[in-house]
Amino acid sequence: MALFNLTELAARLAPGQRLLGIDPGRKRIGLALSDAECRLATPHSTLTRGKLAAAAGAIGAIARAQGVGGLVIGLPLQPDGTFGPAAQAARDWALALTEATALPGAMQDERMSSVTAADFLTEHTALSAAKRRAVIDRLAAAVILQAALDRLVSDRGEA
């Protein structure tokens, strides 16, 4: 498959298909799912980062089981919004993932997603640091996916 802009990706979805948000970290890959109307993101699971083939297999299986029609993958832009080495590596990984899963994808700015997730967990839960680390990646994926879903709603002019 290929990477598209977010609007093009949404246009490719069949009615009722969901989006899978992905936060590709160095050690773990956080996953989040949209609802069938593509309005609300929910944390799903965390994969251990390893070989692309293993990640693609697991992501493909989740996508088939959950009715996913596309991927929204985090793009780690520089703090000033420019495209640096980390963003290029993430883009290369995203292209390889879309090819391996045969699912179209789009990239979403992920600046501050992990910080937002960590702040939320610290402020709103009584989880220990170890338990927060266990859920932060999937929550960061939900932050990334929700930002994309909000952009789509805004682009359509919906409230």
Supply the pLDDT for residue 110. 86
What span, in angstroms and rounded, lies between the C-alpha atoms of 41 and 39? 7
Q: What is the CA radius of gyration of the chain?
A: 15
Who contacts 15 (Cβ-Cβ below 8 Å, separation ≥6)? none
In a domain, 11, yes or no: yes
In a domain, 58, yes or no: yes
Supply the pLDDT for residue 146. 95
Are the beta carbons of 122 and 131 closer than 8 angstroms? no
In a domain, 63, yes or no: yes
In a domain, 71, yes or no: yes
Are the beta carbons of 71 and 101 closer than 8 angstroms? yes
Supply the pLDDT for residue 66. 98
Domain around 117: 3-154
Supply the pLDDT for residue 1. 80
In a domain, 118, yes or no: yes
In a domain, 159, yes or no: no
pTM: 0.88
Supply the pLDDT for residue 16. 97
Phi-psi map region of 157: left, alpha, beta (phi>0 left; psi -120 to 50 alpha): left
Q: What is the pLDDT along the chain (159 residues), one digit of tens a residue?
A: 889 999 999 999 999 999 999 999 889 999 999 999 999 999 999 999 999 999 999 999 999 999 999 999 999 998 898 999 999 999 999 999 999 999 999 999 986 656 566 666 667 666 666 666 668 889 899 999 999 999 998 887 775
In a domain, 95, yes or no: yes
Cβ neighbours around 49 below 10 Å, total? 16
- CATH code: domain of residue 88: 3.30.420.140
Number of domains into which the chain is organized = 1
In a domain, 146, yes or no: yes
